[in-house]
Amino acid sequence: MLGKKIIVDVQYDQTRVALLEDDELVELYMEGEENQGIVGNIYRGKVENVLPGMQAAFVDIGLDKNAFLYVGDITSDQSVFEFSGEGDESIKDTKDLSIDNIISRGQEITVQVLKEPIGTKGPRVTTQITLPGRYLVLMPTVNYVGVSRRIEEEEERKRLKEIAERIKPGNMGVIVRTAAQGKDQEDFIQDMDFLCRLWAKIQVKEWRGKVPRVLYEDRDVIYRTIRDFYEPDIDKIIINSRAEYERTLEFAGVLFPGLEKKMELFDKPMGVFQYYNIESKIEKAIQKKVWLKNGGYLIIDTTEALTVIDVNTGKFVGSKNLEDTVLKTNLEAAQEIAHQIRLRDIGGIIIIDFIDMNQEESKNKVLEVLKNALKKDRTKTNVIGFTGLGLVEMTRKKVRSRLSSKLLKPCPYCHGTGRVYSESMVVARIEKEIENMVKTSNLWGVVVEVHPNVARSWTEDGEKNIEILEKSLDCKIYIKDNQNFHIEESVIHPLVSQQDADRFFLENKGF
C-alpha cells in the first residue's frame, strides 16, 4: 500500500483527484460546476481601468470580477507593447515604467491567469504566457531558458539547459520540467513542436471574435494532474469511472509511454475515496487542531492577511529533560507543518510559533527539517527564519483558494468568529426585546421559543429575573424549548389578552 498513488473520484457533478504518498493525503484537487479551475487559461480582454497609484490595471476577461494585472507581470517585449514616454533605449523591465506609459483604458490585451479568484479579489493575470508540455514549458513572449529547481544535480541541469537552448525557437523562452530528468534531445523535439503549433493557433484566435473571450482553456483536472505531477516514482493511477479510465488511457500513453501499465480501473462496490481512507483525511484537513504522533498538537488559524500556526506539547511529556522534549515536539511539528501547508494549499505569509528553544543549535535543526520537508512542495516557498520575537516567518506562493474555502462556507451564525453568544447573553438580548415589544404594543403576555440550553439557563438560573421582569412589565412570560433551534435563535409570540393566550395554547398543543 505504500508508495505514491494518484486516486481519481469521478462523480456526476464533481471530479476529485488525490495524491497519496505512503498512504498520506498530500494534495487534493477538485473541479465541478462551482469551482472550475481557470489557472493557465488564456483570454483576450479589454483594459477597464488603469491605476498608476497602484501600478496596476483591471482587465475585463469575461468573468464576474475583473482580472488584476500588475505592472511587473507585463512582458517587456516591445513587439507586444509600445512603451510611450521613453527614449529609443530598449526597456528591459516594465517595473521601471509607470503602467499608464504601457497600457491604456479600452485597449485589447492577451493575458493568462496566474491565480484563481480568492475571496473578494478577482483573478491575477499576466501577459507573460506559458504553455506547459510533458517535459518543457514554452514561454513565447520572453527569451529565456530555465531548469526546474527540483532538478538539483548540477551536471544534469547544465546538460538539460544546453539541449533546451539548441531546440528552442528564436526569441522564445523555455523551462525544462522535472519530468525531463534523464531524457534526450529527441524526447523534447515532439513536445516543442506541439507547443509551438498550439501557440500559433492561439495567435490566430487573438484577432478573431468579440472581446472579452477565451483563447485557450487548460485541460481538465485529470489531464493536468497527470501532466504536471506524474513522475516515474508514481506507482499507480486509480480511476473509478470506466469512461474516464478509457479516455485517460488514450492521452496517458501519448504523454508518458508506459504509463498506461500503471493505470487501474476501480470497480469495487464502495467509493474509491472511502476505500483508500481519503474521506476521513479530508475531514482532518479542515480542522483547526492537528494532533502529532507524539501527543503534541498544532493550532492552525487563518486570516485574510496571514496564517498563524501554534505548536504545543499537549500530551507529550518526554523522557529526558525539557529542552529535549521541546526539540522533539518542534522537529515533528516542522514535518507536519510542511505537510499541512501543502495539503491545505495555504498561501501568503505564514507565521509559526514553535515552542521556545534556548539553544541556537536546536533552532537550526528545526529550520533545516522544515526546509527539507518543504522541498516536496511544488509551490514556491521561502523560509525567512526566526524573527526577533522567536517566531518563524515564511511565505508560500498563492495560486488557488485554500482547501478549506472550497469545502466550507462562512457560518451564518458566528460570521467567521468561531464563537456564538453564551446562553446568558442570549437571555439578556431576549429580555430587552420583550421589554421593547410589551411597552410599544401593550401586550398581556408573550411566549418565547428558544434552544433547550437557553430555556434551561433561563428557567433554572434566572427564575427570579423572570419574576422581576413580569412584575415590572405587568406581563406574563412563557418559555418553550425547541430542539430544532440554533442556540442563538428565538421567536417571541405576542399575546394580546388572556383569551388570546388560551387560543394560542389550544392551537399549539404541546406548549
Residue with more model confidence, 38 or 231? 38
Cis geometry, peptide bond prior to residue 452 (ω within 30 degrees of 0): no
Most confident of 46-50, 150-154, 404-408: 46-50
- How far apart, in whole angstroms, are the C-alpha atoms of residue 108 and residue 447? 64
**How many residues would you count in the chain?**
511
The set of residues, in sequence order, having a beta carbon less than 8 Å from that of 346 and lying 6+ positions away, is 302, 307, 340, 396, 402
Distance CA 174, CA 415 (A): 46
> Phi and psi (nearest 5°) for 182?
80, -5
Q: Given its phi and psi angles, is residue 45 left (phi above 0), alpha (psi -120 to 50 degrees) or beta?
A: beta
For 379-475, list the strands marked E by DSSP.
Answer: 381-386, 392-396, 445-450
pLDDT of residue 275: 92
Count Cβ atoms within 10 A of the Cβ of residue 7 and give its class: 0-12 exposed, 13-18 middle, 19 or more buried: buried
Strand partners, 45: 109
Query: Lowest-confidence range among 27-36, 168-177, 364-373, 378-387?
Result: 27-36
Q: What is the pLDDT of residues 402-411, one digit of tens each?
A: 887 777 777 7
**What does the block give as the cell for 359?**
539553544
pLDDT tens readout for residues 88-137: 344 455 556 788 888 889 999 999 999 888 777 889 999 999 999 888 99
Comparison of pLDDT for 243 and 418, the residue scoring more? 243
Residue 150 CB-half CA count within 13 A: 17
pLDDT beyond 90 at 72: no
Tell me, what's the pLDDT at 511? 60
Residues 41 and 214: beta-carbon distance below 8 Å: yes
How does pLDDT run across 235-254, given as a tens digit for each residue? 999 999 999 999 888 888 77
Spell out the residues 6+ positions from residue 349 whose beta carbon is closer than 8 angstroms to its own: 305, 306, 307, 393, 394, 395
pLDDT tens digits for 175-210? Answer: 998 888 888 888 888 889 889 988 998 988 888 888
β-sheet bridge partners, residue 309? 300, 352
Name the grid cell of 280.
Answer: 476521513
Range of weakest confidence among 2-6, 44-48, 488-492: 2-6
- In angstroms and rounded to an integer, the radius of gyration of the C-alpha atoms of the chain is 30
Among 59-73, 108-122, 194-208, 309-323, the minimum mean pLDDT is found in 309-323
Residue 74 contacts residue 127 (beta carbons within 8 Å): yes
